[in-house]
Homo-oligomer: A and B are copies of this chain.
Amino acid sequence: MHAQTALKYSQAHRRRFVEELKQFVRFPSISSQPAHANDVRKCGEWLAAHMKQIGLQRVAAISTRRYPLVYGEWQQAAGRPTVLIYGHFDVQPADPLDKWRSPPFTPEVRGQNLFGRGACDDKGQLFIHLKAIESFLRTSGRLPVNVRCLFEGEEEIGSPNLPSFLERNAKMLASDVAIVSDTRMLGPLRPAINYAERGALSAEIAVIGPRQDLHSGNFGGAVHNPLQVLSEILAQLHDSAGHIAIPGFYDRVLPVTPRERRYMARTGPSDAEILKDAQLQEAWGEAEYTLYERITLRPALAITGITGGYQGPGAKSVIPSHATAKLNFRLVPTQDPAEIDRLLRAYIARLAPPTAQVTVRSEPGAKPALINPGHPAIRTASEAYRKAFGVAPVFLRSGGTIPIVDSFQKILKLPTVLMGFALPDDNMHAPNEKFHLPNFYRGIATSIWFLKGIAFGRNGNRRRAEALSNEFAAAD
């Protein structure tokens, strides 16, 4: 069972791998839109069939209250550790559709990139591990470790049913380490391992005013317009220095050590790089932090959508009866989404005028996660990256959220290795999402080296974590 043989197989079958990934991307598996419920399910069925085909065992689509989980395993490496590979096959909505150069669910290779919604987040990255597994099984008939693959269809809606599934099946899922590929590198040859993820909380503020739309000529001046009420509330969510103005919001934000800030300054993206990634002229936010710090170790609040009144071309003389705004928080240790939800509701209640009804709805949030970069599995991953990319990865904080990391830690007592292969310009969650195919190929190699190299025993995950700050010194 040689990694080199598996590597050669993976190189020889690249073209087919890309064609299979295109089939996978073709499903509009948008979990947040009920109209696509069937597409999410069909995508899961396709994935399960594919897992069977490459030789995984006990493959099953496991029903939840909404979308099934797809599970498969290979458990014949007696005495070797078990790796839990997590990924998700649901995707973000594709709109605004008019910004796509090719249709989001008609995957298309242009240059070195495969374009399509989900090509990178997370179908392409999930597929990396399946292709690594296939490369071992087709060449050696076996894997160097035990694996459990657990792929969900609800990540983009906050994994509402995964924690309870993990709780009910903790014994069955017993493993030594989890790996998740749903994070970013710094550049095509600048691999990175994420050691921190922000938590998340989504909420919606609705302002209800008159019982129906009113003529702005007939009633303008006597009605508190819901769009005005909403704007007045939203404008008070931040202060003029870019801080979030919700009382108590920062109470549980951990201070960051000077050592970590120095490590981040040395290894992380510069302000200029982040501006370039975002294609932005001017940064904004808390001036006392670098951009990398603002988007990773500081919490954030984005208004992700406002709807209200007339949205067509031209003008309409209307005072709308209601208006809504969607909010998305990103949280950092040790903020708790349930507590932030309470603080938000209390603040909105205080801001709401007597002239309109203001309500807040929220979805269950995800806690922020911190992973000890000194764990042996992280070191194995680091070595695998070095072999596949020719350069060792840096340790990065991510601004994104992978709710499952918190659940793996809390429920399965597993450390998670965040081996990401997305590029900053891969347009995740935006039009023209793409996956850089050289990263797809190098990702498969990284996964092959990781599965081959992971050798620590069943107790590896119980190794006492040293203080994070020591690891930053060691990683230097």
* Chain A interfacial positions (CB closer than 8 Å to B): 32-34, 92-93, 95-96, 99, 157-158, 184, 198, 200, 202, 204, 209-225, 227-228, 230-232, 234-238, 242, 274, 277-280, 282-286, 291, 294-295, 298-320, 323, 325-326, 328, 330, 353-356, 363, 398-401, 424, 427-432
Collect the chain B residues with CB atoms within 8 Å of residue A33's CB.
312-314
Q: A302-B216, A303-B231, A308-B305 are in contact. Are A223 and B326 (CB under 8 A)?
A: no
Min distance, Cβ A433 to any Cβ of chain B, angstroms: 10
Q: How far is the CA of A243 from the CA of B231 in the complex (A)?
A: 16
Min distance, Cβ A397 to any Cβ of chain B, angstroms: 11
Are B219 and A399 interface neighbours, CB within 8 A?
yes
Are B429 and A213 interface neighbours, CB within 8 A?
yes
Nearest CB to that of A323 among chain B residues? B306
Min distance, Cβ A326 to any Cβ of chain B, angstroms: 6
Min distance, Cβ A200 to any Cβ of chain B, angstroms: 7
Collect the chain B residues with CB atoms within 8 Å of residue A431's CB.
212-213
Are B221 and A312 interface neighbours, CB within 8 A?
no
Are A212 and B430 interface neighbours, CB within 8 A?
yes
Collect the chain B residues with CB atoms within 8 Å of residue A210's CB.
278-280
Cβ-defined partner of A315 (8 Å) among B32, B184, B215, B234: B32
- The count of identical subunits is 2
Q: How far is the CA of A22 from the CA of B230 in the complex (A)?
A: 39
Are A317 and B304 interface neighbours, CB within 8 A?
yes
Interface of A is mostly: loop
Are B234 and A228 interface neighbours, CB within 8 A?
yes
Nearest CB to that of A212 among chain B residues? B430
Chain B CB within 10 Å, residue with most, of A99, A209, A230, A399: A399
Q: How far is the CA of A314 from the CA of B202 in the complex (A)?
A: 9
Collect the chain B residues with CB atoms within 8 Å of residue A302's CB.
216, 220, 225, 228, 317-319
Closest 6 CB pairs of A and B: A32-B314, A305-B309, A220-B300, A217-B400, A221-B300, A224-B284
Are A224 and B310 interface neighbours, CB within 8 A?
no
| New contact pairs (20) apart from A304-B315, A305-B310, CB-CB < 8 Å | A32-B313, A92-B316, A210-B278, A214-B429, A215-B400, A215-B429, A217-B398, A217-B429, A218-B295, A219-B399, A221-B285, A223-B280, A223-B285, A224-B284, A231-B235, A231-B303, A234-B235, A306-B308, A309-B326, A317-B429
Are B300 and A218 interface neighbours, CB within 8 A?
no
Cβ-defined partner of A310 (8 Å) among B93, B230, B286: B93
Are A278 and B328 interface neighbours, CB within 8 A?
no
Collect the chain B residues with CB atoms within 8 Å of residue A158's CB.
315
Nearest CB to that of A297 among chain B residues? B221
Collect the chain B residues with CB atoms within 8 Å of residue A282's CB.
224, 354-356
Collect the chain B residues with CB atoms within 8 Å of residue A326's CB.
309-310, 315-316
Nearest CB to that of A203 among chain B residues? B315
Q: How far is the CA of A469 from the CA of B286 in the complex (A)?
A: 58
Collect the chain B residues with CB atoms within 8 Å of residue A93's CB.
310, 312, 316
Are A212 and B305 interface neighbours, CB within 8 A?
no
Are A428 and B218 interface neighbours, CB within 8 A?
yes
Min distance, Cβ A114 to any Cβ of chain B, angstroms: 18
Q: How far is the CA of A60 from the CA of B224 in the complex (A)?
A: 45
Are B295 and A304 interface neighbours, CB within 8 A?
no
The 16 sampled A-B contact pairs (Cβ below 8 Å) are A92-B316, A93-B310, A95-B310, A158-B315, A222-B274, A222-B295, A223-B283, A224-B284, A225-B303, A228-B303, A230-B306, A231-B234, A304-B310, A304-B316, A305-B309, A306-B323
Min distance, Cβ A349 to any Cβ of chain B, angstroms: 16
Collect the chain B residues with CB atoms within 8 Å of residue A316's CB.
32, 92-93, 304-305, 326, 429
Collect the chain B residues with CB atoms within 8 Å of residue A355's CB.
282-284
Q: A304-B320, A306-B227 are in contact. Are A212 and B283 (CB under 8 A)?
A: no
Collect the chain B residues with CB atoms within 8 Å of residue A95's CB.
310, 312
Q: How far is the CA of A225 from the CA of B301 in the complex (A)?
A: 10
Collect the chain B residues with CB atoms within 8 Å of residue A304's CB.
216, 227, 309-310, 315-320
Q: How far is the CA of A363 from the CA of B313 in the complex (A)?
A: 12
Q: How far is the CA of A231 from the CA of B323 in the complex (A)?
A: 13
Nearest CB to that of A293 among chain B residues? B221
Are B306 and A399 interface neighbours, CB within 8 A?
no
Collect the chain B residues with CB atoms within 8 Å of residue A305's CB.
227, 308-311, 316, 318, 320
Q: How far is the CA of A318 from the CA of B314 in the complex (A)?
A: 26
Q: How far is the CA of A99 from the CA of B213 in the complex (A)?
A: 10
